Structure formats: structure tokens, C-alpha cells
Structure 1
Amino acid sequence: MRKSSFTGLLITALCAVVSCCLNKQFHFVNEGGKTWEKAQQYCREKYIDLAFISNQDEVDEVNDISTTDDVWIGLYRDPSPPTEWKWSGGWNSSFRFWGNDQPNNKFGNQDCVSVWKNKMNDYQCTEKYPFVCFDLNVVLVKENKTWEEALEHCRKHYTDLTSLLSENEQLLVQRMMNSKGAQTDHVWTGLRFLASEWLWVNGDPLEYQAWTGGRLPHCPAQHLRCGTLAREGELWGTRDCEERRNFLCSKLVTPRGDRHVCVW
């Protein structure tokens, strides 16, 4: 009965193949304004972190959803060395869109960054502004379930178990797992060995791969046919499908207008 149930669930997914790229979603928060540190705290409690911005499309998205002049984003000056700027949470990006003569550190302590009219400006972190948080269309479910139970849960409450299509996606998800407090060292993903091959159960192509040890397990043992993502250190692993673990679900995203920002 269990095998029959699983096969039915899988066929349902593969008959409606869609690309489920991981999406970054921005959320504008206007609650009377907060300092940069308080804005960071709010974003980490409600979403993932203050917004980090990687390209011009994301600049436009932040501008579209903001209804005030200055809004905090996650960029701040690293005190050591003081010439280096970093994103809150450690997100990697070399993309910058400073305004004219910015950053100028006018008062010698302008260590936090806001966006105004599609340009970044440095300000004192104690100023109070609205802010922009970011989230992902991935949910960490902190319940311990078998792989099949996790699959059923994701399809009932969200869309599917999560696939990981690039290194950037994977790094973001791992950081999210740590910030949200994953309770198992590895969590279930949508990776499954079936009919002599590994596949994502939502039908996404298995092109990017990050197996622990760098080698695809071509013929895994009968009990090691469900895939996990490590919370840190190791990457993809193969585990007994009957183990009980936290898991990652993808949730449906409704794009704003024609924008649908995927993380690659």
C-alpha cells in the first residue's frame, strides 16, 4: 500500500512538469521606521533577513514596492577593514548601485545603507527608516517525518518537496536552514532514486549536482534512496527513506506584474 501510494504521488508530479526555480521575494515594511539594527532583527524574526540585492531587476523590484523615500537594505560597512561593505547574513554579491558621491561617510559614522530613487546612500545606522526584508519560496518544516510523509505534507500544504538547481540556491537554503534552526543535521529534499536513476520528484532537471564526495551514487543500497541536504559542511547525502527528518517544501509564488526573480 505504501509503495502504491508513493508511485501515485510521483506520477502526479511527473505528469505536470514545471520548473520550480527558487525565488527571492521582497517585503516592504513601514511601521513608523526602525534603526538598521532593529530592522535587521525584525526581518530575521519574520522572514530571512534584510534585503540583499544582486542585479538591476531586483533594484527595480525594491523601488516598485517601496512607498517612501529612504528604505534600509542589508548592506553595512564592515569595521575591519572599514572600506569593505557586506550584506547582512553574509550573502555574496559584487553588485553596487551607489548614488553620486556615495558612499561619503559624511559624519564619520555612516555605516548602514538605504535605497532612495534606485540609488544606494550611506547613513548613520541609528536613523529610523522603513525597510525591505527578503524571503524565499522555500519553507523549512521542523517536524520529523519519513521521506514519503514529508512528500505528502509538502503537497498537501505547499506545492512539493524542494529541488535545488544551482549553487546559489543551495547556499541560500543552507543559510536559511541555520537561521531558522533546523533540528536535524540533514533535511529531506525532493531528490529520489527511482527506476535506476536519481531525479527531482517535481520534474525539475537534475543538472546541478553537489553530492558529498563529488560522486553520483549510481547504484545506491536499497535503503539509501532518498536525498538530503546537509545543514552545514557536507552537501547532498543519501539516507534511508524511513528515517525521520526535518524537510524543505516549496511554496507557490505569485509574481508581481511580470517580475519573477529566480536565484541562480
Structure 2
Amino acid sequence: MDTRVLICLLFSGVCFTSAGLDKYVLVEEDKTWYEAQEYCRSRNGDLASVTNMEDLNQLSDMTAVQSWIGLNDFNRKTMDLYPNSWRWSTQTRSRSGYMNFKSGEPNNLSGREECVKTGTDGTWSDYNCSALYHFVCFSGSSNTKTYHLIEQTLSWESAKSYCRTNYTDLAMIENEEENQKVLSNITTSAWIGLFRVPWTFSDGTNSSFRHWWGWEPNNLYNGQLCASVYGGGFTDKRCTRTFPFICSAKIGRKYSRIKIMIESNLDLTNHNTKDNILLQLSASLTRAGRTDFNLSWSAPPEKLDPAGLNDDNH
């Protein structure tokens, strides 16, 4: 069956106006995270991204009340079904295909489980990366793996460093046959190379800066996917709560939008297919001398069930 899809290409050019030099704008209206994002984007901006302590101090000076920023963890909501959240340590930019989580996992207990261990039954669980466990390394190539159980107890990061020094990397498991090979090597729970990419900014800012309060993120009631700033630190909250919010000011940026209709027999729900289409479009635009563009597939995040909207008072 033919599939049609509409792709929008967004070209930008900077117009240096006085308004464009302001980095942030505080909006003192109570909105949900989704409404706040829509408001910021309707004005050619986005919810605020924070890349360093200077940014955070500026935000803290702007507001004394809890306010939404762009940081979110939407991938977690479907992280057992949508593999973009999960990567192997040896291929940090590639998605994971095969996964074998046990029932009820991954659950991101207490909001801090971003690494994966395998159990003695061959099923996987997400766990706090700082916990100490035995671990499984592999040697050889991605096509000819040999697995090695290391009976030292290390954190996930330390285990990864050990494997990279002495073997190839932490265990990469791409099918059931390989999972059974790992299972035959272990007698207790052990780290493998799978980890989750958590908490990203809605405007696509590639920054690893995080300044959570000591008890955050805690994923209270298993539904806190959006972040606010308060008192000089980040907190995770239900996205359906209402707060003031801070936009990244891009009023001085001008955009041109081009729409392209594609008809194809390909499965456009497949991530690899969509990535290949974007790569081909990007290459064509670059050959044509355009560099000021951004290509992406986007869909509005599925809104959380508003039930329990006020069950989080922290």
C-alpha cells in the first residue's frame, strides 16, 4: 500500500535585533508543559534549554517560583517498546533492536535506573548505574563475539572502562542465541552494555548539563516526565501540572518552511527507513549549497492520563 508523508524543511537565518539578543523570556501564566511548549514554539522559540551554571543562574534570577523548562524524558514512557531510548555502549549512536526485559521492566525505579543487568534466567532489568555487580565483556567483532564473565563488582561505568581496556566492550547482545551464550557464562546478576539515553531538551540542544536537586529526579508515582527549575535546581514533575514557564528567546531568528509530499511503498513507521530518507534529503541539500537547515521527523508527544494530576505535591 502506498504511503504518503509530509515533510517540512525548516531553513533559518539570523536577524540581529535587540529582541534577538535576549536569551530567555519568563511567561507568568500557569500552563501544562505541553501548553507551555506550544506557546514558546508559536513564537519561534522553544522551552528553555540550560547548558551551564551561568544559564541556570540567569533562570533562577528570573523567577522565584517553580517554572517549566524544556528538559523532558518522553522516551521513558515507551522505552520498552521504542528502542531509540536504549543503546549499546559500543554503538552509542545506534538504536538497540533485540531486547529481553523481564515482565515489569524497565521501570526506572526512583527515577535513576539507566543501565541494564542480566539475571540468571537470561532476562534483563534496568538498575542504578552506580550499583556494584559482576559484569560481562565481549571480545571480537560484532559478528563474532566471545563473552567473558568478570567476577569483580564494579559500577556500570567502571565495568565499561575495564572491558574496553582488556576486551572490546561490555557485552552487546543482538539476538536470542547470543543471550543464551551470555546466560551460560553467568552464575549471578551481571552488567551488560545496554544503557538508556535519558532527559533531553525539547529544542534539540545537545547538552549534558544537569543540576538536579539531591533527591531528584525521583519519578514519584511513576509518571514524572517533565522538568522544572526551582531554587537553583531541576525537579521532575508530571507534565500535566500547571506552572509559569521560561522560553528560549529566538524572536530575532527568521525561518522559511518548505513542504515536500512523498509517496512510497516503504514502511514509514520504520526508524531506519525514516533515517535513510532524511540522510538522502540532507545530502541533496548540501550538494545544492544549503547548510542552514534542520531536518527531523516530529510528532506531538502522547499526553499522559490526567488522572492523578494532583497526586504529586513535591
Give the TM-score band, short-chain normalised: 0.3 to 0.5
Give the TM-score normalised by structure 2.
Answer: 0.38
Give the TM-score normalised by structure 1.
Answer: 0.45
Q: Bigger relative contact order, structure 1 or 2, given CA contacts below 8 A and separation 6+?
A: 2
Larger Rg: 2
